[in-house]
Structure 1
C-alpha cells in the first residue's frame, strides 16, 4: 500500500455572527464569578453630605476590598472588577429614614504598577432600609478592566459616591484623603503567546527511496539549530538531517529519504519536536519501486487533509425578559457551535467571540454587560481534546469560547455551548435591545 499523502498545513479563519435580543429591559447586576482572594483595607475618607443636610463634611474611615474574576490574565483580556465597601465612612445625613432600594453607589478602582488608570464601577440600586442618621449599609460596585500591559498590576479602592433617590435626588461623594488607598489585590498579567509564523517548503513532493529533497524554511529564530526529519503520521521516521538558520531566520537543507513510511517532512528548532517552534508537515510521497511479485497487484490509497470549519445551530438567541425597575440578568443559551478540524497537522485552534453594544429605545446597554459560561465536548476518537474558555465577560474586546492545543497530530469534531447572561440596569427604558455576537475560528 502506498504511503498516505498529507498536504501542507493550512490555517483558516472562519467567522459567524449570532444576534442576541432582549425582550424587555431591567437592572444590571454582575454575574457570579469565582473571585480571587483579596485583602480588606482601611483608608481615610472625606465625605461631603448634601447641602440640605446642613452638616459639615465627615472625615472617617472606609473599609473596602477589590476582587477580580481572573488574577492571571493575558494582555488583551478583559477582567471583571468588583469594589465592595463593607463599612462606608458616611451615614444617612438626615433624620428621615430611607426606604429600601433607593441607593445607587458608583466609584472608581485605581490601577498602579505595570498599568495605571482608573476603572469606573457602579452598583445596583439596592439597599436595606436605613434609619434616620443611621450608618449606610455595605454595597458593591462592578466594572471591567482591559489588560493592556504585562506585569504586576495593583488595584486599590478609589473615590466613591452614594446617590439616593427618595423625595429628592441627593449625592454624598467620598474621596480618598491621601490617595492612593492601600492595594487590595494584585493582578499578574502576561503577554499573549505570539503566532508561529515559521514556514517550510520542499523542492519536490515525491521521490524514490534514496532520493534527496531540497528543504527550505523561513521565519525561524535567527541562528537557531534546525532539525529536519521525515514523519509518518505522528511518528518520526529514520530520515533526518540538521541545518543552521541564518541571521534572518531562513535555512536550506538536503534530506535523503530512504524510509518508505515517510509521508511528510517537518522542521523544528532544537532536538525535539515542538509545534510552537516548528513548521510542517509538508507532504512527501516515497515512490515504492519494489518489483511486483508474479501474479500480484499493488494496491495504493491516500488520505486527503481537509479544512478547519464551524457551523452553528441557528443565528439568533432570545434572552429572557427582565422587569423595569427591578433589574437582573437576562439569560439564554448560545446556539450550539460545531467545530470540525480535518487538517491532520500539528496546529490546534481557538474559537473566540466579541459582542457589540445592545441598542434599543433607551439608548444602549454596553457590550461589557454580556458574560458567558462556556462548555465544550469532544467527539470520541478525536486526536485533540477541546477545552472550554473561562467564564466571564465577553465585551467588545472579546474572549475565548473554546480551544484545542497544538500537538504532534491534531484534529477531530467538537461541540461548543455557553450559558449567556446580560446584566441590564434597573431603569433602562422598556423595549427591545439587540446586539450581535461574532464568533471567530482560527
Structure 2
C-alpha cells in the first residue's frame, strides 16, 4: 500500500482546488435582481453549456439559464443608438462548496443576438462588482450593458446570447457559458422607424471678405448627388437677395460662384430645396462685405478689425485629493474637479464639447476599476457670452469617457465658461490599504 500524505498536506491541497473550482463557478448562478431602468423584456429560459477553467478540475456544466434583455428605447428611429442591458437572473450552476467568496471579484461579458429587420450581435459588459457570497449560497444576478445603432426600420428582436465570467480571485480565470441551441428565445422586441439621416453637408469659401459686388467661390461636399444647390448670403438670421445655384456631382460635391452685394452680409449658406433648411443645408460660413463707400468732403473714414482668436482650456490645478475610506468598509471617496475655464474666442458658428475619461486607479499590488468613478458636472456662462454652456449628465465616467460640458452650434458662438464637477469613487470594502491614483484626461473639441 502506498503511504498516506500527512493530514496538513491533504488539507492544503483540498483548499486550493476548492478555491479554484469556486472561482470558476462563482458567477454561474444567480438570485433575484431588480432590472435596470428602461423597457424590461420577458424572462426567458435556455439550455446553457458552461466550461470551467482546466485548473478547476471540474467537468462541463449543462444547465438552464434564466435571463432578461431590456432596452432604453423600444421605438427608435434609424440612426438612433439603443442601450441594451443583458441580465442573467439565474445561471446554470451554483456554488458547490462551503467556501465564502469576497466582494468584487467577477467581471461578466457577453453578447445579445439581434434578429428580424436587423441582424448581428451586440457586445455587452458588466462592472467588476458583486457582494460577498457565503458558501453554498446562491450567487447574485449580474447585468451587462452595450449599445447598437439602428440601421434598418422594422421589428428587431433581441435574444440573450453566450456569456463569460472573468474572476480575479487567487488566479485570473474565465468561465464561458454558451447557448446550447442558439438563438435563445426572444426576450425583447423594438420597432424601428425611418429616421432623418445625419446631415454631413459642409461648405467652404474662397475668401472671408470682399468688396460689394465681388464674387466668392462656394465649395460643398456631401450634398445629394445631382441635386440643385442654392447659394445665398445671410444677414444674421435672415437671407439676403444675393443668390445663385450650383449642381452637385455624382459624389455630392459642387463649386459655384456667388456675387455678394448686400453690405449687411455676415455669412453664406448652401442648401437643397426651395428654402433654407438646417437638415438639407450647410453653413453659415462667415463672410464680410467691405464698406468702400466714398468719404464725404471734410470727413474721415475710421476702420477697425476684430481678429478671431482660439478655443482654449485652462485648469486651476492638476491634482485632486479624494477623501479617505476605511479598509473593510469602503464606500464613496469624494472630491471636486479642479475648476476648468473654457475660452471660445473663435467668433464663428461652431460650438464646443468638453469630454473626460479616466484610467484605472493603481495602488499597492491592486487597482480600483475606472468604472467606479462617477461625476456630477456643472457649468457656468460668463455674462455677455453669445453661447450658453450646458453641463453633461451625472453618472459613471470610466475609461470610455463622458461629456463634461458643451455649447451648441449657432449663427455666432463664443464666450467664456467655467466648468466644475463633483467626483465620487466607489471603493470596494476590502481594497488593500494604501494610496491609489488614476489619471483623468479632459479633451476639448
TM-score when normalising by structure 2: 0.67
How far is 1:318 from its partner? 2.3
Alpha carbons of 1:395 and 1:100: their partners in 2 closer, same or farther (altered >3 Å)?
Answer: closer
Partner of 1:272: 276
Question: Matched residues in 2 for 1:341 and 1:126: separation?
Answer: 46
Alignment deviations for residues 292-315 of structure 1 (CA, whole Å, 9 cap, x no partner): 2x5555454444333222222222
Contact 1:61–1:88 at 8 Å: present in 2 too?
yes
Tell me the matched-pair count: 391
User: Which stretches in structure 1 are left out of the alignment for 5+ residues?
Assistant: 1-31, 51-55, 166-170
Alignment deviations for residues 135-170 of structure 1 (CA, whole Å, 9 cap, x no partner): 626x2435554658856683626557799x9xxxxx
| Alignment partner of 1:206 is 2:210 | yes
Correspondence list, 1:71-110, <5 A: 81=85, 83=87, 85=89, 93=96, 107-110=108-111
Report SS of the residue matched to 2:206: strand
Partner of 1:408: 411
Correspondence list, 1:346-385, <5 A: 346-385=349-388
User: Which stretches in structure 2 are left out of the alignment for 5+ residues?
Assistant: 1-33, 53-58
Correspondence list, 1:22-101, <5 A: 35-44=37-46, 62-67=65-70, 81=85, 83=87, 85=89, 93=96
Partner of 1:17: none
Alignment deviations for residues 245-290 of structure 1 (CA, whole Å, 9 cap, x no partner): 3445131214141x23234444444431538832443432332424
Question: Matched residues in 2 for 1:339 and 1:79: separation?
Answer: 31
Question: Matched residues in 1 for 2:35 and 2:362: separation?
Answer: 26
How far is 1:320 from its partner? 3.2
TM-score when normalising by structure 1: 0.68
Alignment deviations for residues 214-262 of structure 1 (CA, whole Å, 9 cap, x no partner): 32314252433333233334443333322223445131214141x2323
Partner of 1:126: 131
Alpha carbons of 1:212 and 1:239: their partners in 2 closer, same or farther (altered >3 Å)?
Answer: same
Contact 2:161–2:178 at 8 Å: present in 1 too?
no
Alignment deviations for residues 146-197 of structure 1 (CA, whole Å, 9 cap, x no partner): 658856683626557799x9xxxxx999875545444445689999957655
Question: Matched residues in 2 for 1:70 and 1:61: separation?
Answer: 28
Report SS of the residue matched to 2:347: coil
Question: Matched residues in 2 for 1:375 and 1:121: separation?
Answer: 28
Question: Matched residues in 2 for 1:421 and 1:285: separation?
Answer: 53
Question: Matched residues in 1 for 2:403 and 2:196: separation?
Answer: 15
Question: Matched residues in 2 for 1:295 and 1:122: separation?
Answer: 78
Alpha carbons of 1:263 and 1:195: their partners in 2 closer, same or farther (altered >3 Å)?
Answer: closer
Question: Matched residues in 1 for 2:63 and 2:245: separation?
Answer: 71
Say which is worse superposed, 359-368 or 59-68, in terms of deviation: 59-68
| Alignment partner of 1:344 is 2:347 | yes
Question: Matched residues in 2 for 1:367 and 1:73: separation?
Answer: 32
Report SS of the residue matched to 1:316: coil
Question: Matched residues in 1 for 2:77 and 2:439: separation?
Answer: 25
How far is 1:74 from its partner? 11
Correspondence list, 1:302-317, <5 A: 302-317=305-320
Correspondence list, 1:154-173, <5 A: 154=158, 156=160, 158=162
Partner of 1:431: 434
Question: Matched residues in 1 for 2:441 and 2:429: separation?
Answer: 27
Contact 1:39–1:185 at 8 Å: present in 2 too?
yes
Partner of 2:13: none
Paired residue for 2:255, among 246, 251, 265?
Answer: 251
Higher strand share: 1
Partner of 2:10: none
Contact 1:368–1:395 at 8 Å: present in 2 too?
yes
Question: Matched residues in 2 for 1:415 and 1:38: separation?
Answer: 39
| Alignment partner of 1:111 is 2:115 | no
Alignment deviations for residues 46-77 of structure 1 (CA, whole Å, 9 cap, x no partner): 699x9xxxxx9998765443456788799999
